[in-house]
Structure 1
Amino acid sequence: MRGTYKIKKVLNNNVVIALNTINEEMIIIGKGLGFGKKQGDLIDQQNIDQLFQLVNEQQQEEYKQLLLQIDDSIMETINDAIVLISRRLDQKLNEHIHIALTDHIAFAIRRLEQGIVITNPFLTETKSMYPVEFQIAEQVINLINQQLEISLPKDEIGFVTLHIHSALENKPLSEIKDDALLLKKLINLIETGLKVQIEKNSLQYSRLVIHLRHVLDRVLHHETVELNEKFVTLLKQEYPLCYNLAWKLIKIIQTHYQLPVADAEAVYLAMHLQRLTQK
């Protein structure tokens, strides 16, 4: 946040567009930052909460339009939420979160006012897949509910979690949602194939989700794991149901991503499935 910033345009009391020392446009956020200010004024460094640059002109325009549509108190609270996320993670976030999360929260508040309830079918999976982001999302929803004196439902925690993870991993939200959908499909197949019902809030369920998530991550990053031939022979002979089911799941993953999956993944997945049948 070092350097001098000269105001180019005041968007609202808390957000301004300013030029840095090399005349790049920056979006700067801070409580009361734009109040009473005009073009050409310098910004007091102490008032800056967030500073980011939307290089894409279309994204800049989208953000400006959002500010025109959202009440200042709501906008201030959402900015506080993004500051909270940044501080909790202490990592650089993709700057598109300022558009994506702002738009999502504003729309969620509008739905709440209209009495429209949207349930989150991936809430449990999301919590297991991204526990750190989920915990921060809980804090975000609590902050919003407290500051605006509203009651956004628990389902929103899952949606906010995906936005946080998307900004953290620099992946489009559509891909994050796609992963969650695939994960849910795989778990449904496991429950059907093994004729078991896994308690969603159990440690057993959490371990399964984490194992599957690691499989997906390794596939997407083209990573491999070593194959133990003794395990293969044992699993084929002793646990054919789990072995065959594991391969069915691997084929679904291959088809979904159109990427190769190491044979070893089926072996270790079969071992995990066997543990499920023993519970």
Structure 2
Amino acid sequence: MSILIDSAVVLKSYNNNIVSVTINEEERILFAKGIGFGKKFGDKIEKGTEVEKIFILEDEDNLRNFKQVIENVDENFLILCETMISYIENELKEDLDERIHVALVDHLNFAVQRLSNNEEIENPFLMEIKALYEKEYTLAEKVAETLQYEKGVNIPVGEIGFIALHIHSARNCGKLSNTLKSTHLINSIVEYVEKQIEVQIDKTSLDYARFVTHLRFAIKRILSDISIKNDFIKEIKSKYKLSYKIASGVSKILIEQLQKNVTVDEIAYLAMHIERLRIATIDK
């Protein structure tokens, strides 16, 4: 629980419990029961008001993406996810990179939907995750227990591994040197993809955020020599010819910059994400 030191001016009320405000000319997102009830643009929230959480997202893209998450994810589920993120930070005794408020919430939301429909995705590098990221996996198990209790959906071990990867990524993105190197490489790849599809990608979209998240994980796997298996390589090559060609070009950039081999399995997964991004961009 926090207390507002200064008054806030409402920019937008998303629902009864979440509002976007300005405090000293800086945008913040406030969580508190009933704080958004009846609020409209320009309304004042007095200093001394108790709030459950104050979001400070420094990166404008992250802030925009988080606002999209707020509008697309059930309010109670969003609050549940943020409670779990706070738990993870408390257990680790460190602040996680702010992207976790977009990447993990978005992932968990889709995971619950998939699993509710009995659509389970196999995690081919589960054993490596358990071995390399033991602390993150333990925390991911706690997240899975909470989701199972609150949402009544079984979370398989493969999905726990994916959650652990999100936690690990959020821990390591805070290291400046790694972040700068990774960001520069990802920007180069995005520019290459844009040039190949001859369309400017909407950097504020969730599709773009998902693509970048996949690239971050792919870079970590490649650097750690973690293999990923894709049983649909032949189908992807045949169905997504252009995207696979672009993914092959991306792999050459990764090989040159990372000085590591990129498997055809990894290229196929890149092709799937590029195809999704390409179609989403064309449809707009």
Q: Contact 2:32–2:50 (CA<8 Å) still a contact in 1?
A: no
Paired residue for 1:49? 53
Paired residue for 2:220? 179
Paired residue for 1:27? 29
Question: Structure 2 length as normaliser, TM-score?
Answer: 0.59
Q: Describe the superposition over 1:6-57 as per-residue Cα deviations: whole angstroms up to 9, x where unpaired.
A: 132212233221212x21001223444434444423265532234222431x
Measured in 2, the distance between the counterparts of 1:5 and 1:132 equals 39
Paired residue for 1:3? 5
Q: How far off is 1:180 after superposition?
A: 3.2
Measured in 1, the distance between the counterparts of 2:227 and 2:156 equals 25
Q: Contact 1:14–1:33 (CA<8 Å) still a contact in 2?
A: yes
Specify whether residues 258 and 51 from structure 1 end up closer, same or farther in structure 2 by C-alpha distance, changes over 3 A only: same
Measured in 2, the distance between the counterparts of 1:157 and 1:147 equals 16
Q: Contact 2:125–2:227 (CA<8 Å) still a contact in 1?
A: no
Partner SS for 2:226: helix
Give the AA of the match of 1:129.
L
Specify whether residues 110 and 255 from structure 1 end up closer, same or farther in structure 2 by C-alpha distance, changes over 3 A only: same
Partner SS for 1:17: strand
Specify whether residues 53 and 255 from structure 1 end up closer, same or farther in structure 2 by C-alpha distance, changes over 3 A only: closer
Paired residue for 2:281? none
Paired residue for 1:85? 88
Q: How many residues align?
A: 191
Q: Contact 2:14–2:70 (CA<8 Å) still a contact in 1?
A: yes
Measured in 1, the distance between the counterparts of 2:93 and 2:169 equals 15
Deviation >6 Å, runs of 4+:
none
Larger Rg: 1
Q: Contact 1:15–1:30 (CA<8 Å) still a contact in 2?
A: yes
The correspondence for 1:76, drawn from 65, 75, 79, is 79
Q: Describe the superposition over 1:176-223 as per-residue Cα deviations: whole angstroms up to 9, x where unpaired.
A: 44433553349xxxxxxxxxxxxxxxxxxxxxxxxxxxxxxxxxxxxx
Q: How does 1:57-68 map to 2 (within 5 A)?
A: 58-68=61-71
Paired residue for 2:194? none
Q: Describe the superposition over 1:91-147 as per-residue Cα deviations: whole angstroms up to 9, x where unpaired.
A: 121111111111101111111122211011111111111111111111111112111
> For structure 2, which runs of at least 5 residues remain unmatched after alignment?
174-178, 183-212, 229-254, 261-284
Specify whether residues 27 and 183 from structure 1 end up closer, same or farther in structure 2 by C-alpha distance, changes over 3 A only: same
The correspondence for 1:159, drawn from 138, 158, 162, is 162
Q: Does 1:107 align with 2:110?
A: yes
**Percentage identity across aligned positions?**
30
Measured in 2, the distance between the counterparts of 1:113 and 1:77 equals 17
Q: Contact 1:14–1:76 (CA<8 Å) still a contact in 2?
A: no
Specify whether residues 128 and 53 from structure 1 end up closer, same or farther in structure 2 by C-alpha distance, changes over 3 A only: same
Q: How far off is 1:5 after superposition?
A: 4.6
Measured in 1, the distance between the counterparts of 2:117 and 2:158 equals 17
Supply the RMSD in Å over aligned alpha carbons.
2.8
Measured in 2, the distance between the counterparts of 1:107 and 1:128 equals 26
Q: How far off is 1:151 after superposition?
A: 1.4
Comparing 62-71 and 119-128, the one that deviates more? 62-71
Paired residue for 2:238? none
The correspondence for 1:97, drawn from 66, 85, 100, is 100
> For structure 1, which runs of at least 5 residues remain unmatched after alignment?
187-253, 260-279
Specify whether residues 177 and 161 from structure 1 end up closer, same or farther in structure 2 by C-alpha distance, changes over 3 A only: farther
Specify whether residues 96 and 128 from structure 1 end up closer, same or farther in structure 2 by C-alpha distance, changes over 3 A only: same
Paired residue for 1:12? 15
The correspondence for 2:123, drawn from 120, 124, 136, is 120
Q: Contact 1:81–1:144 (CA<8 Å) still a contact in 2?
A: no
Q: Describe the superposition over 1:214-273 as per-residue Cα deviations: whole angstroms up to 9, x where unpaired.
A: xxxxxxxxxxxxxxxxxxxxxxxxxxxxxxxxxxxxxxxx978228xxxxxxxxxxxxxx
